[in-house]
């Protein structure tokens, strides 16, 4: 019965489901991550795109976890970099390194867990 249903669906032009996350990974597409304010200690949700190469990079994760965020921030595109810096800037105008680190840890963790 199932094979008849599948055959009818294929005949009608239906396509098999695709694993979009696997395809995006294979093509090296950036990973879009949305963090809630609670996830990083900010005031509002934050959405950034991370380069695929950072998501599965031991060196990147190690650098962020040890507090050395500058090389990772430099790997981001201008929009992602600015969004993170804006989110990490307090009401006095000071950009907090600890907040930048929390954002990157949360973003890399979420990206590594899947899209």
What is the per-residue pLDDT across 9-56, written as a single tens digit (0 to 9) for each?
A: 666 665 554 444 555 556 678 899 999 999 888 889 999 999 998 988
Average pLDDT over residues 59-69: 91
Average pLDDT over residues 86-90: 94
Average pLDDT of the chain, as a whole number? 83
In terms of pLDDT, which residue wins out, 101 or 13?
Answer: 101
Q: Which residue has the higher pLDDT, 14 or 61?
A: 61
> Which pair of structure tokens corresponds to residue 35?
């963090």
Nearest 5°: phi and psi at 47?
-120, 130
Enumerate long-range contacts of 67-75, CB under 8 Å, 24 or more apart: 67/97, 67/101, 69/97, 69/100, 69/101, 69/104, 72/104, 73/100, 73/104, 75/51
The CA angle 14-20-23, to the nearest 5 degrees, is 110
- State the burial class of residue 101 (Cβ atoms within 10 Å of its Cβ: 0-12, 13-18, 19+): buried
54-77 mean pLDDT = 91
96 confidence band (pLDDT: 50, 70, 90): very high
- Would you say how long the chain is, in residues? 115
**pLDDT surpassing 50 at residue 65:** yes
């Amino acid at each position: 019965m199932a094979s008849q249903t599948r055959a009818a669906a294929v005949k009608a032009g239906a396509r098999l489901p695709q694993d979009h996350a696997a395809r995006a990974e294979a093509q090296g597409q950036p990973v879009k991550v949305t963090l809630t304010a609670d996830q990083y200690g900010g005031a509002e949700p934050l959405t950034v795109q991370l380069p695929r190469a950072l998501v599965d990079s031991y060196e990147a994760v190690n650098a962020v976890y040890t507090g050395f965020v500058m090389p990772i921030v430099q790997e981001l595109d201008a929009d992602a970099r600015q969004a993170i810096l804006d989110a990490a800037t307090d009401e006095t105008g000071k950009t907090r390194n600890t907040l930048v680190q929390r954002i990157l840890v949360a973003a890399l963790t979420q990206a590594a867990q899947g899209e």
